[in-house]
Amino acid sequence: MERELQLQCHVADIIEKNYCIDKSTFVLLVYDSRCLLSRMMKSAYENVILGYTHEMIDFDLMKEEDFLKRLEVLPVHSLVILVESGSFRTTKHRLRADLFQAGHSVIEHARLDHTQDSEIGNYIDALRYDTPYYVQMCEKISGLLVGKKEIVVESVGGLRFTIDSEYEEGIKNTGDFSGQKYASAGFPIGEIFTEAKQLDALNGTLVVFGFPGKDHHTQFVEPFEVEVVRGKLVRHTGPAGFQEMITMIQTDEPGEVQLREIGFGLNRGLGFEKRITEPTGFERFAGMHFSLGLKHDMYRKKISRKVLQKFHVDMFCLVERVTIGGVVVFEKGKYVE
């Protein structure tokens, strides 16, 4: 019961503190009941939205044409909450994107069935309102990344990974929507990511403890080494499942495996020992991740469209210390405020 009350408190904070809606806002809760976590999320939101004009729809019990007609007549600037065991789709796009384009605010909890029942407590902790901290750390990190700076990632055994470059503008995921007409986010949140302007400026060795497999579930494994030379993965000591992902990338992209995204996860509810198997949520864990493959929608223009950009596979890294321009930003399992 304590866990359910904690979850209800967290989703109330999302609605009231992140989305800041007033009682005149119409709220639509779209859910399914395919897994334990989706049922818990539905129940928590159901209790919170009782004080608002609202409607609830079980996605699995409504015909698609009827559902689309219902969305067409939503009151302007509604808040739509999506509680999805998988990923609701009604067009070629994600439903969240369609709703945002129509002028609605959206809260999305996707792929809930990827989180194991034993990890539900971690998922709930990851929903705790921490936006002021996220904003603070994003400001610090983005400020340090201005101009040409060296990022140094230190791992166990004296291993080092360096990036000596200028950086693309950081993309922040803080839950602070002030100044925005509509709000939209997939939860859990808490991250800032960027990319080196010079993709060949990444060199050294990282220690990896997790990565998504072909089934889009994170494989948590014994930590292993990934060696990078001039932005390309050249060696690893990982398991067969990791090599399977490398081979998949090499088969469809131009031979070499490129590192792109530099991710600073800020969510203090997730970490090396506090895991969820769903990779998009887990990439917000308090630590660092890097992507493999040429695909990155936010920085797509950097690489010619003539080059096939198909894969974006995150590696979750076990790091001991991170500095930017000589300033320590991460140490002993947490960010330095």
pTM of the complete model: 0.94
What pLDDT, on a 0 to 100 scale, did the predictor assign at position 298?
66
Kindly state whether residue 168 falls inside one of the protein's structural domains.
yes
Q: What is the CA radius of gyration of the chain?
A: 20
Residue-wise pLDDT for 45-64, tens only, equals 999 999 999 999 999 999 98
Q: Verify that 205 and 320 share a domain, yes or no.
A: yes
79, 114, 149 - which closes a domain: 114
CB atoms within 10 A of CB 286: 20
Same domain, yes or no: 104 and 172: no
pLDDT of residue 296: 72
The answer to whether the CB of 257 falls within 8 A of the CB of 247 is no
Distances (CA, A) of 12 to 40, 135, 210, 285: 14, 20, 31, 22
Is 254 among the domain residues? Answer: yes
Any domain includes 120: no
Same domain, 90 and 212: no
Residues 170 and 109 in one domain: no
pLDDT of residue 93: 62
65 part of a folded domain: yes
- Interacting residues of 120 by C-beta distance below 8 A, sequence separation 6+: 3, 36, 37, 40
Look at residue 125 and tell me if it is in a domain: no
Tell me whether residue 123 is in a domain: no
Say if residues 60 and 131 touch (Cβ distance below 8 Å). Answer: no
pLDDT of 87 reads 87
Are 189 and 278 members of one domain?
yes
Same-domain check for residues 109 and 177: no
Instruction: Say whether both 77 and 212 belong to one domain.
Output: no
Q: What is the pLDDT of residue 241?
A: 95
- Kindly state whether residue 70 falls inside one of the protein's structural domains: yes
Same domain (yes/no): 259, 211: yes
Pair (39, 171) in one structural domain: no
Residue 175, both tokens: 């839950």
Q: How many CB atoms lie within 10 A of CB 103?
A: 12
Same domain? 64 vs 210: no
Spans in the chain with pLDDT lower than 50: none
Query: Domain containing 28 — which CATH number?
Result: 3.40.50
**Would you state the pLDDT for residue 180?**
86
The tally of domains found in the chain comes to 2
Domain span holding position 260: 131-335
pLDDT at 300: 65
Per the CB < 8 A criterion, the answer to whether 308 and 294 are in contact is: yes
Of 114, 140, 160, which one is at a domain's C-terminal end? 114
Do residue 96 and residue 143 come from a single domain?
no
